[in-house]
Chain A
């Protein structure tokens, strides 16, 4: 099954805001409000930072926010910090199955 499309890399300076897009179809991102986002540091397991498009699990910084428009979901990181440098993956429910995005490497300049 085809993966969701994310930009390979996004960069920003400390304090800036960046947005990562996640494009799917009306069979996944556009069809359900079950989009989640994960942060992954090298050598570590992914960590859930956004679920159901807009919700943050307890303990996740409010600098992370999610949204969706049509078949594209977005993750915005506000007030970029050095610790935000990591890989980010989106995921969506797809009619009883799941699919992940291609991944985005965030670099803090």
Chain B
């Protein structure tokens, strides 16, 4: 079964750091680009970051550039998001999503169930 399972979401204070993980199974992980997408409570979807199949290319939304770092370990079929200098507006459900191709300029065909990040004092 093709599956993505996120973990690592917690309540963290403003200015704090957090690392999210996404474990992939059921497909050849290193054939595909991977993304992080977030959804604030009651709001729409916001793309956060992309990493190409080999980790050689990464992109970020302006709202997180310089604070978040995406990475992957193809030997562990895992995707990560290191989140630093967290702000209240980063509070959201964070999804990892699989691209349909290897560059990331494509649709997202598999989504995890999300992990909740709450930034609050």
A, B from the same assembly: no
Tell me the B residues contacting A by CB distance below 8 Å.
none
